[in-house]
Structure 1
Amino acid sequence: MTTTAAIRSEWVKIWSVRSTFWGLAGAVVLMLVFVLPSATSVTYTSTQESAPDLVAGGSFYLAEFAVIALASLFIAGEYATGSIRGTLQWVPVRSRFLAAKGAVLAPVLLVLGVVAAAVAIAVATPLMDGFGRAASTGEIIQACVANGAFFALTGLLSLGIGTALRSVAGSITVAFPVMLMTARVAGSLGLGVVNFMPGVAGAAALVPFGQPNPVSGLVPPYPSWAGLLILAAWTRLRTSSLPRIVLT
């Protein structure tokens, strides 16, 4: 099977299961679950958070859970059901199989991230009622695009982990600490590398340069776009090393 045919096959598969729709809807709902009360609380405090800042927190603390689960199910679910045998029979080149998965998953999560951020900002802005820091149009666009990239890279990282572990529960259990707990541990130990942890770096891309990271509370020592490069480097590390164990 050619690469194009493999991508078409994966496109059909991702939309043929209910878990995809639950995952997409879950990401938006979890984003709003975090953003709505946070936006309301801004009116009662003296914090200078903007709507994009709230989106960064919502993505890191809640919405990424749905993204990780969706990506893990997309790959590890095939091992759980046994359908992976048919997939590898039609696409025996393992690297092509994984590339087709990524080529389908990344655009879906990119669009999801943009839509989730746009909806959250649109809902949060009137709730903030002029309090907090006003975000410019450029900052809003940056937050939406960066959130899409954050979702896509997080999904690809989870895809690599799921390919290696072949278990939905196992891949989710590993991906959560990689994105969330590494930042917590580094921060609690006072390590200067906290800004370079994957989840924190991704959140830093959602706010303008010079603004505190809404997750760590620190001002990142790099431009906003560099946060996505750091997350991409983590994704590349995971997807190039872990899957190699099972794909060769």
Structure 2
Amino acid sequence: MSTPQPPMPQQAAAAPDWQAAPGTSYTSPIPVTRTHLGHALHSEWTKIKSVRSTMWTLGIFLLLVIGIGFLVAVQTTNEDFQDVPFTVPAFIGLLLGQLCLLTLGVLVVSSEYGTGMIRTTFTASPQRHRVLAAKLIIFFAVAFTVSASAIGLVGLFTSSLHSSGDSDVPWAGTVFMGALYVSLLGMLALAVGSMLRHSAGAITTMLGVVLLPSIMPAFLMMSDTLRTIGEKMQEYAAISSLARVFRLDSESGNGGAQLGLLAGVTAAAVIAAFVLLERRDV
């Protein structure tokens, strides 16, 4: 008969490197950093430069503003700029190009709702207000830079054609105010897109905001009772506002009042978008 061997003492299994020892807290080997607005800005910048809608809308915007501006500029003479700035040829293209910025502003936020990717975005960044703030900042920076560059390029091209003229009307301010006006319109569209969460509905709403104040006065002024309302609406329409910015109607101001009203409306829409974003489910 074989002699039974004494039981071997059990050795304690070594704990894996990732497992905390009893009585101690676990420390991740992966560095953990506190998220901030900079991360959201980087994410939104990656999105806006990666999607095709940005390239298409901004490309068409540049084609309209610069292309039409150059075509108008070569048809002008020195006498045409005695009372207006050299950026005036960009005015017509900007009237059409602003629709591109409206569309882009809506798509920046509504496209994520349409595809369902907004759930992934809010999972990665649970603080929703930070996401919306990053979208607004990145969009405004892109829209203002592109708009100011396009208007300024048209102004430089026009001034080079008429360098021998005696025009002393400053035009640097029109570059800033014109770019600011259409960029604020785009931010308003982004806020509307965040509230409606539907691309077609938000774009249609913004087209009404831009076009109706230019169309309705023609009907309102047929009535003596509504004439005052029609005249005031026409004064603050997008066409009239940009005309004042480009000094085409210098007797009625430089567009500061219209720009202030648009800034106020945009601020109100942005605040409403933040409030609804926190109160509603995805």
Q: 1:174 to 1:247 in 2, by over 3 A?
A: farther
Tell me which residue corresponds to 1:18. Answer: 52
Amino acid aligned to 2:183: A
Deviations 1:95-145 (A, max 9, x none): 2221111111111111111101012223344667979x9353xx2211111
Tell me which residue corresponds to 1:212. Answer: 249
Equivalent of residue 51 in structure 1, options 86, 102, 122: 86
Q: Distance in 2 between matches of 1:97 and 1:113?
A: 24
Tell me which residue corresponds to 2:199. Answer: 168
Q: Distance in 2 between matches of 1:13 and 1:203?
A: 34
Tell me which residue corresponds to 2:262. Answer: 231
Please list every run of 5 or more consecutive structure 1 residues that lacks an aligned counterpart in the other structure. Answer: 214-218
Q: Distance in 2 between matches of 1:12 and 1:203?
A: 35
Q: Does 1:63 align with 2:97?
A: yes
Q: 1:242 to 1:35 in 2, by over 3 A?
A: same
Amino acid aligned to 2:93: G
TM-score, normalised relative to structure 1: 0.80
Flag the structure with larger Rg: 2
Measure how far apart 1:76 and its partner are. 1.0
Report how many residues are paired.
235
Tell me which residue corresponds to 2:36. Answer: 2
RMSD, aligned α-carbons: 3.0
Does the 8 Å contact 2:53/2:104 carry over to 1?
A: yes
Q: Distance in 1 between matches of 2:163 and 2:218?
A: 33
Tell me which residue corresponds to 1:192. Answer: 231
TM-score, normalised relative to structure 2: 0.71
Percent identity between the two aligned chains: 24
Q: Distance in 2 between matches of 1:206 and 1:121?
A: 11
Please list every run of 5 or more consecutive structure 2 residues that lacks an aligned counterpart in the other structure. Answer: 1-34, 222-229
Q: 1:101 to 1:242 in 2, by over 3 A?
A: closer
Does the 8 Å contact 2:110/2:194 carry over to 1?
A: yes
Structure showing greater relative contact order (alpha-carbon pairs closer than 8 Å, 6 or more residues apart): 1
Q: 1:80 to 1:58 in 2, by over 3 A?
A: same
Q: 1:89 to 1:231 in 2, by over 3 A?
A: same
Q: 1:49 to 1:188 in 2, by over 3 A?
A: farther
Q: Distance in 2 between matches of 1:64 and 1:135?
A: 28
Q: 1:42 to 1:181 in 2, by over 3 A?
A: farther
